[in-house]
Amino acid sequence: MRTRKIGSLEVSVVGLGCNNFGGRLDADKSADVVYAALDNGITFFDTADIYGGTKSEEFLGEALGKRRDDVVLATKFGMQVDKERRGAKPDYVHRALEDSLRRLQTDRVDLYILHAPDPDTPIADTLEALDACVTAGKVREIGCSNFSAAQMREAAAAVRDGAARFVCVQNEYSLVQREPEREVLAECRRLAMAFVPYFPLASGLLTGKYKRGEAPPAGTRLSGMPAERIAALDEKLVVVERLTANARQSGHTILELAVCWLLSHDEVASVIAGATSRAQVESNAAAGEWILGEAERREVDALATPVA
């Protein structure tokens, strides 16, 4: 599989999002998904301390085992684990990291990401604590998530000379949610930061499994959603229908189009897609092989949800 850079890290252009581990998937099924990812050339694994009530990190660490050194391991901190474990104050940065290292069964995190801005903590204080983690050899690179362009600029300005800085931002981005095109992607170019999109398949809307006017298939992420919320998705599903037809003309699926369109943006380093089965992993990995041409991308841009 092709690779791109996040700071000094070389990552596969399709990564594995591990948010299903510990929730929709037990330890054995999580391990099956991890093995499938490794078999298909995926080397970038993304989790967080809150996923699966901390079980995601445990299941991922156990499954990787002796293959730990073969992958780039990313985890996140800062969202509320419980009443005591949350935020980005310096003391908690260190505590959260130690907890994640233990659960992941490793001595370092390759990419440690602040999951969301903490309005109660100056970003300079958080960065200083993260730099100490890098200096101690427990973290290789640091990143942020759910940051606006203004917050990215604030963080960049707060970095001391020679200290660790955010090398990536992880925000929601897909063919039906294009908000990062307003400011964040441009800020990534200015600050030389990589962009890592989450929800690249829009919680399954861009897989073709949901149809306008039909109930979601049993067992899917949207199957338990109230009827009024399902109906509210019709506007997005109209877009999905247009994109599905476009993909078919090229002999591809809507899922493949969703992934390769994201990768057509130079700022995007890796598309982290979740999976609950080996088949889904294989589909996600294969999607990274299609390289979208400039003319094709302009055509897709016109069919996708307009930039907010």
Could you give the residue numbers annotated as active site? 51
Tokens, residue 145: 């998530």
Tokens, residue 230: 């399902």
H-type helices in the chain, by residue range? 27-39, 55-64, 90-104, 123-135, 149-158, 184-191, 227-231, 234-249, 254-263, 278-287, 294-303
Tokens, residue 85: 């474990």
CB 195 within 8 A of CB 264: no
Query: Rounded to whole angstroms, how far apart are CA atoms 289 and 281?
Result: 14
CB 2 within 8 A of CB 13: yes
Alpha-carbon distances, residue 225 vs 61, 132, 199, 219, 274 (angstroms):
32, 43, 17, 11, 19
* Phi, psi for 113 (deg, rounded to 5): -120, 130
* Phi, psi for 306 (deg, rounded to 5): -60, 155
Q: Smallest Cα–Cα separation from 72: which of 110, 30, 33?
A: 110
Query: Rounded to whole angstroms, how far apart are CA atoms 13 and 230?
Result: 31
- Tell me which amino acid residue 53 is: G
- Tell me which amino acid residue 131 is: D
CB 222 within 8 A of CB 200: no
* DSSP letter (8 states) at residue 21: B
Neighbours of 280 (CB within 10 A): 18
